[in-house]
Structure 1
Amino acid sequence: MSGTLAGRKALVTGGARGIGAAVARRFAADGADVAINYRSSSDAAEALAAEITAGGRRAVAFKADISDPDQIQRLTDQAADALGGLDILASNAGIEHFGTLDAVTPAEFDRVFAVNTRGQFFAVQNAVRHMGEGGRVVLMSSGSAHKAVFHHALYASSKAAVESIALNLSPELGRRGITINALAPGGTVTDMSDHAGSRYVHPDVDADFPTVIRTASALGRMAQPAEIAAVVSFLVSDDASFITGRTIQADGGWF
């Protein structure tokens, strides 16, 4: 085996599509075996597992709703059993939300935080039970946690909390030789951005989403999922062994 992640065993939550699928592919390309979690995209997850297996790495797909702590525990146990251990957690599962202050319901609030925040917390709790020295955890935040977006307070706050989780768990996990970091991507070309991209434009701004991206970021474009996956792969590699408790902003210079 060769590659920066040779011999490692990784779990990617929300791994069937978008950034999660790109992370799973990158981990496999770098030598890791991968467990791919999905909630509803079974065909995409199984196809990705078959693709990775055909490329010479081991890959398995497991269904679990990350909003349910019991399912998270079952998922991490299944992944560790199937792969023969667990060295890496890439916690990517998340849901988008836009809504005015007066329209957000308690049920919506609970659902968004159950997936984006609570789900990531308990994914860490359960995954690290299977990790030893050299374990790696990457949580998924968002550029929205660092930039005000109209009608986006619920989603952004659920992601900002994830950065605090990474910061405050770092000394506890550091005693076990495990690093934990968060990644805050900017706009990325996924089906989620296709659906919600226009809502990132302030209603008083007379411009479409591509124009806003061109004029409000240093690189003037959105990221490809593979570019975000490359950052995740770095953070779980030995090259990032002295980085923990940090949030990396991969946003193309969003200003």
Structure 2
Amino acid sequence: MRVAIVTGGSRGIGRATAARLGRDGFAVVVGYAGSADAAAEVVREVEAAGGEAVAAQADVAEEQQVSALFDTAQERFGGVDVVVHAAGRMHLAPVAELSLDELDALHRTNIRGTFVVAQQAARRVRDGGAVITFSTSVVGLSLPTYGAYAASKGAVEALTMILARELRGRDITVNAVAPGPTATDLFLEGKSPELVERMAKQPPLERLGEPADIAEVVAFLAGPARWVNGQVVRANGGIV
């Protein structure tokens, strides 16, 4: 049995990914920060489809909590084959106006959190496994107000590429998925309907991505995509 840890697994893209990997036959550890009820719903969804899952709380920036998350996978299912690090934080503001407290909080989750999860993954993912992080297509689009968020995700991309090379010889793939505008609470919060509609028209496919669209890419990287390694996959409907 292959085993996946999904951080941020109680909502949005993480939730869709946990459910999809469960349908693909993975036993899933649903990592969550605060919403135990939402995480329990994901576990029930996986189990209803015939899979196995367990919810486990962890602040991704705290080493001991993340280590305990991996311990849960080991104790319940025998090990870890795939790590999907979907937990993240976003705060939008022009560079000139951004609170440095918000900057620190954002970078704590997105940079330190990714490093802590990547560190445990490098130590504990079984040979033949996969590590999947999350960036954003805004790194390439350079949209105003996304400066701090995009900077944090640029760090994620750099870490991901280096980890792929550090795991040489273990048959472990390491890739980042960089979604474009996707209909999640994280994306929709604070945006007017007019702005959402305008952003939905950006890709040639003329719609927002859905969490299931991104989960499809993650499932590919977690399963059959053994020759895709050290890449950033921009899943954004064709925005350039």
TM-score by length of structure 1 reads 0.89
**What is the identity, as a one-letter code, of the residue corresponding to 2:214?**
I
Match of 2:217 in 1: 231
> CA-to-partner distance for each residue in 1:29-58, whole Å, 9 max, x for gaps?
111100001111110101110221222211
Say whether residues 1:94 and 2:82 are aligned partners: no
Structure 1 window deviating more from structure 2 (185-194 vs 72-81): it is 72-81
Gaps of 5+ in 2: none
Per the normalisation by structure 2, the TM-score is 0.95
Distance 2:190 2:148 in 1: 15
Distance of 1:213 and 1:41 partners within structure 2: 29
Number of the residue aligned with 2:21: 27
Task: For residues 117-143 of structure 1, give each alpha carbon's deviation from its aligned partner in whole angstroms, at most 9, with x where no partner exists.
Answer: 111121011123222221100001011
* Map 1:139-154 → 2, pairs under 5 A: 139-154=133-148
Compute the RMSD of aligned alpha carbons.
1.6
Describe the superposition over 1:171-196 as per-residue Cα deviations: whole angstroms up to 9, x where unpaired: 11122221100000011111122214
1:52 corresponds to: 46
For 1:217, the equivalent position in structure 2 comes to 203
Deviation at residue 198 of structure 1 after TM alignment: 4.3
What is the SS of the residue equivalent to 1:37?
A: strand
* CA distance in 1: counterparts of 2:72 and 2:5, whole angstroms: 10
Single out whichever of 50-59 and 217-226 deviates more from structure 2.
Answer: 50-59
Partners of 2:208 and 2:6 in 1: CA distance: 23
Aligned pairs (5 A) from 1:110-125:
110-125=104-119
SS where residue 118 of structure 2 aligns?
Answer: helix
Match of 1:61 in 2: 55
CA contact (8 A) 1:138 1:182 kept: yes
8 Å Cα contact 1:133-1:178 kept in structure 2 = yes
Percent of residue pairs bearing the same amino acid type? 37
Q: How far 1:68 sits from its partner (Å)?
A: 1.8
* Structure 1 gaps, min length 5: 1-6, 200-206
**1:188 partner letter:** T
1:249 aligns with 234
Runs of 4+ displaced beyond 6 Å:
none
